[in-house]
Amino acid sequence: MKIGIPKESAPGETRVAVTPDVAKKYVKLGLNVVLEKGAGERAGLSDADFAEAGARLAPESEVWGCDIVLKVTPPSDSEIARLKKGTLLVSQLEPYRNGVLIEKLAAAGVNAVAMELIPRTSRAQSMDVLSSQAGIAGYRAVLEAAIRFPRFFPMMMTSAGSSKPCKVAVLGVGVAGLQAIASAKRLGATVEAYDIRPEVKEQILSLGAKFIEVDVGESGSGSGGYAKELSEEGKRKQQQLLSDKLKKFDVIITTANVPGRKAPTLLTEEAVKGMRTGSVVIDMAAPSGGNCPLTEPGKIVVKHGVTVVGELNYPALVPGESSNFYSRNLFNLLGLFIAQPDKGAPKDATPMLRYNLEDDIVAAALVTHEGTVRSGKPAAQKKS
């Protein structure tokens, strides 16, 4: 059985779905790893690294014809056309806003797994791409802020005098937000954070940050520890109360997303107007519209003297580690789909694909199977 690793074609994507270390693990399982030439170069991984791990370099036509194809970003129409019927495709597929893509995969007879739909349970933790990539994104977002901010992050004392530490606010304390808090603290900033779930306060305090108290008159706690969307009145109060508090910060990092919907507005234009010239806003929700109305997805702009960063793919800015974590997530997941030969099988027997639809992880993430669309939307909406 062959596993194909194509070069990512999406603009700006630098990650690769398998690293040499993980390729070696697949080979030990009796699988043939087929890699498109140059697939790992943008992540700092050479073809020689993969060849040494036991992977075979091949033209893209052979890679797309493998039994299993592993990707980072959704396939294009031309890439779907290269997949053979019955192929298991494992990738991020953006199922909330990519229903047409899911239907095309089903029509092509491709069995597709959307990594975004892996349930956030203890058993699935080692497969959770959203968490692994969000942690990297939170770290890289802080570095982006430090680069754009025209002053120091930490307090600095010199013979010419001293500077005060940068004041950072993090809005939304999921995986990305927690990592952003920790990274900003390591750089010496003073950090405060806000989330509509009051139970998150303890996590914020444990990282040495302060909790921004905002009473919107309703609970933002949803099921499973996730946040839920506020009512229209709650949103209005949230924006109004946050606006005055946020004006004092030098850097604001926003992370709030609701899958399948436009990102909620947390940082208003009024608040940005009140920030000091040279301040920085890092809007990590830019791919879904942004938490600030001034954000322009994919661009870095200056509005009212404040730099607003709408970067769309922070993990791709740290491609080596992002690829490393992502490939491990996929390897752990594929253990649910690959069946080793029985003890009494012939010596030349090889692993085979299996689809256990009774498994809760398989059932949640397998969006197409045998020509039909199985899902594409999780049971509950989640915020990161």
Tell me which of 47, 49, 56, 120 is the catalytic residue.
120
Residue 131: active-site member = yes
Do residues 95 and 381 make contact, with C-beta atoms less than 8 angstroms apart?
A: no
Do the domains spanning 2-117+335-373 and 135-316 agree at the CATH topology level? yes
Residue 120: active-site member = yes
**CATH architecture, range 135-316:** 3-Layer(aba) Sandwich (3.40)
Alpha-carbon gap, residue 306 to 21, rounded angstroms? 43
Tell me which of 126, 219, 226, 240 is the catalytic residue.
226
First CA to last CA distance, the chain: 36
Q: What is the pLDDT of residue 226?
A: 53
Q: What is the pLDDT of residue 381?
A: 38
Q: What is the pLDDT of residue 378?
A: 41
Question: How many DSSP H helices and E strands does the chain contain?
Answer: 12, 19
Of all helices (H) and strands (E), which one includes residue 2? strand 2-5
Q: What is the pLDDT of residue 148?
A: 97
Tell me which of 131, 243, 279, 384 is the catalytic residue.
131
What's the pTM? 0.90
CATH fold of the domain at 2-117+335-373: Rossmann fold (3.40.50)
- Mean pLDDT, 10 residues at a time, over the chain (384 residues)? 97 97 96 97 97 96 97 97 97 92 97 95 96 97 97 86 92 95 97 90 96 75 56 78 91 88 91 96 96 97 98 98 98 95 78 94 96 66 41
Tell me which of 21, 47, 125, 355 is the catalytic residue.
125
Tell me which of 82, 92, 96, 128 is the catalytic residue.
128
Instruction: Delimit the domains of the chain by residue range.
Output: 2-117+335-373, 135-316
- Cβ neighbourhood burial of 100 (10 Å; 0-12, 13-18, 19+): exposed
Do residues 329 and 15 make contact, with C-beta atoms less than 8 angstroms apart?
A: no
Q: What is the pLDDT of residue 380?
A: 38
Residue 226: active-site member = yes
Do residues 305 and 278 make contact, with C-beta atoms less than 8 angstroms apart?
A: yes
